[in-house]
Chains A and B, each alone.
Chain A
């Protein structure tokens, strides 16, 4: 059974940093593109970042470029998101999601339940 479990969320002040992690299980993690997707309170979903199987390609939504860094550790089956210079508008539930095998662009086939990040003074 595919499992994605996020951790690391919490309350942080504007300008602060936070590192999110996603533990993957039940599939060969290193075979898949992985993404982070967020959902602000009362808002729709927003793709944040994704990373290729070997970490050689990374892409970000414009609003987080230069502030967020996605990374992965295939040996540990772990996906990470380092978030710096956090802003109030980054407040959201952050979920990791798996891109379907060999179907880049075809959405996401599994999601974690997410971890809440609140940016507030």
Chain B
């Protein structure tokens, strides 16, 4: 199973919105509503910010939202803040043998 495809980097200014894409296949992203997004600051453990495509865990800002169309999932961050600067990873369930596959990660820079 190949990794999901994410852009290596994105950037935006404070207050703007950005969207990070995550492209898979009809064996993973397109077949299950089980896409998650994780935020990872340098030297820290990943933190789930979106699960099951568009659900936010308790305590996660509503500036983070998720969606999916076909084989591509997306994470949108609105009202960018300096603290949002981090790496973002997507993942999708890929069946019982492959379990979960990840994207390569996207580095978000807040200008």
Binding site for B on A (CB under 8 A): 35, 43-47, 50, 59, 61, 95, 100, 103, 105-109, 111-114
**In the complex, A46 Cα to B97 Cα: how many Å?**
14
By a CB distance below 8 angstroms, the chain B residues around A111 are: 45-47
**Contacts A105-B93, A106-B34, A106-B51; is A45 near B102 (CB within 8 Å)?**
yes
Question: Given contacts A105-B93, A107-B34, could you give 4 more A-B pairs where the C-beta distance is less than 8 Å?
Answer: A44-B102, A106-B93, A107-B38, A114-B45
Chain B residue at minimum C-beta to C-beta distance from A33: B99
Pairwise interchain contact B34-A59, C-beta atoms closer than 8 A = no
Tell me whether chain A's interface is mostly helix, strand or loop, or mixed. loop
**In the complex, A43 Cα to B87 Cα: how many Å?**
11
**In the complex, A38 Cα to B53 Cα: how many Å?**
23
Partner of B45, one of A46, A47, A95, A103: A95
By a CB distance below 8 angstroms, the chain A residues around B47 are: 111
What is the distance, in angstroms, from B50's C-beta to the closest C-beta of chain A? 9
User: Is B24 an interface residue, CB under 8 A from the partner?
Assistant: no
By a CB distance below 8 angstroms, the chain A residues around B34 are: 105-107
User: Is B75 an interface residue, CB under 8 A from the partner?
Assistant: no
**Contacts A95-B45, A107-B51, A108-B36; is A47 near B93 (CB within 8 Å)?**
no
Partner of B52, one of A95, A106, A112: A106
Pairwise interchain contact B51-A44, C-beta atoms closer than 8 A = no
Pairwise interchain contact B44-A107, C-beta atoms closer than 8 A = no
**In the complex, A35 Cα to B102 Cα: how many Å?**
14
Chain A residue at minimum C-beta to C-beta distance from B87: A44
Pairwise interchain contact A47-B51, C-beta atoms closer than 8 A = no
Chain A residue at minimum C-beta to C-beta distance from B57: A109
By a CB distance below 8 angstroms, the chain B residues around A109 are: 48, 51, 57
**In the complex, A106 Cα to B104 Cα: how many Å?**
18
Among B6, B36, B47, the one with the most A-chain Cβ atoms within 10 Å of its Cβ is: B36
**In the complex, A50 Cα to B98 Cα: how many Å?**
11
Pairwise interchain contact B91-A45, C-beta atoms closer than 8 A = yes
**In the complex, A105 Cα to B51 Cα: how many Å?**
10
